Amino acid sequence: IAGITQAPTSQILAAGRRMTLRCTQDMRHNAMYWYRQDLGLGLRLIHYSNTAGTTGKGEVPDGYSVSRANTDDFPLTLASAVPSQTSVYFCASSDSMGGGTDEQFFGPGTRLTVL
Amino acid sequence: GQNIDQPTEMTATEGAIVQINCTYQTSGFNGLFWYQQHAGEAPTFLSYNVLDGLEEKGRFSSFLSRSKGYSYLLLKELQMKDSASYLCAVSDSNYQLIWGAGTKLIIKP
């Protein structure tokens, strides 16, 4: 693994189904983030984690949950998918959250379609 | 509310110079970022400004005026590979990034 990976690359999901998007980084970054990107809108933060064992809500957390059991993994779960969750989802990581440049590194994204 | 504004689309000619503007209104300010995003790909970091002034990095430069809530990204000697979306983002008082919708830059030969 080099950098940050996401799985699956794309998914078509029936409404009401549960889905977990996976994210793994090998840079030993403390902070990790989940964003969604919709046409005509900026990236919007769903959830974040400052360090393993802690998580926080971003701008659009409703309908999503996350966990951070270890440094490397930060899965995003949709408990019961709805069509409005159709989007491109990006996972990102940074050395820390705040206190400097803290450039965020992004995974390749997951394109999710909820029908 | 928090708001980041940037033009939706710009067109420029190969070899020329283009300036992409970004204005912001946020709760707190801990720096401004510019990212590049090619179609279908992930954003990649270009620059970070936290103090007023110009930061130069090769063909790309970024300027910040905190008093005006304004930044620009200057791209010189444009190449076809510079065709991409350019995203402006501000780190707010909670160190969360607030993102603009992005400026799609089209480079013509």
**pLDDT at site A40:** 87
- Residue of higher predicted confidence among A39 and B87: B87
**pLDDT at site B70:** 97
Cis-peptide, bond into residue A8, ω within 30° of zero: yes
The span from the CA of A92 to the CA of A32, in Å, is 6
CB contact under 8 A, A41 and B101: yes
- B48: contact with A, CB 8 A cutoff: yes
Beta bridge partner(s), residue A20: A77
Q: Identify the three-state secondary structure at position A84.
A: helix
Q: How confident is the model at residue A100 (pLDDT cuts 50, 70, 90)?
A: low
Count how many pairs of residues, chain A against chain B, have C-beta atoms within 8 Å. 47
pLDDT tens digits, A10-59: 999 999 999 999 999 999 999 999 999 999 898 999 999 999 999 999 99
HSE toward the beta carbon, residue A5, CA cutoff 13 A: 7
Q: How confident is the model at residue B94 (pLDDT cuts 50, 70, 90)?
A: confident
- Residue of higher predicted confidence among A78 and A102: A78
The answer, yes or no, to whether residue B59 has pLDDT greater than 70, is yes
Contacts of A21 (CB under 8 A, 6+ apart): A6, A7, A8, A34, A75, A76, A77, A78, A89, A91, A110, A112
- B73: contact with A, CB 8 A cutoff: no
Task: From residue A73, give the alpha-carbon distance in Å to each of A6, A33, B27.
Answer: 10, 11, 30
Residue A45: its chain B contacts at CB < 8 A?
Answer: 96-97
What average pLDDT score do residues B69-94 get?
Answer: 96
Residue found by looking up tokens 């065709």 in the block: B83
**pLDDT at site A30:** 94
**pLDDT at site A1:** 54
Torsions phi, psi for B31 (to 5 deg): 120, 160
Residue of chain A whose Cα is closest to the Cα of B93:
A98
- A39: contact with B, CB 8 A cutoff: no
Residue of chain A whose Cα is closest to the Cα of B41:
A108
Tell me, rounded to whole angstroms, the distance of Cα A88 from its chain centroid.
Answer: 10
What average pLDDT score do residues A58-66 get?
Answer: 96
The DSSP output letter for B30 is: S
Shortest alpha-carbon distance between residue B2 and chain A (Å):
11
What average pLDDT score do residues B56-79 get?
Answer: 97
The answer, yes or no, to whether residue B82 has pLDDT greater than 90, is yes
The answer, yes or no, to whether residue B80 has pLDDT greater than 90, is yes
B 17-46 near A (Cβ less than 8 A): 30-31, 33, 41-45
Residue A10: its chain B contacts at CB < 8 A?
Answer: none
What average pLDDT score do residues A83-110 get?
Answer: 90
Summary mean pLDDT of chain B:
96
How far from each other are the two terminal CA atoms of chain A, in whole angstroms?
32
**pLDDT at site A98:** 67
Residue B90 · residue B24 · CB < 8 Å? yes
| Nearest CB to A98; choose among B43, B95, B98 | B95
**pLDDT at site B32:** 96
- A9: contact with B, CB 8 A cutoff: no
Percent of chain B with pLDDT over 90: 93
Residue of chain A whose Cα is closest to the Cα of B5:
A42
**pLDDT at site A54:** 94
The answer, yes or no, to whether residue A73 has pLDDT greater than 90, is yes
**pLDDT at site A99:** 56
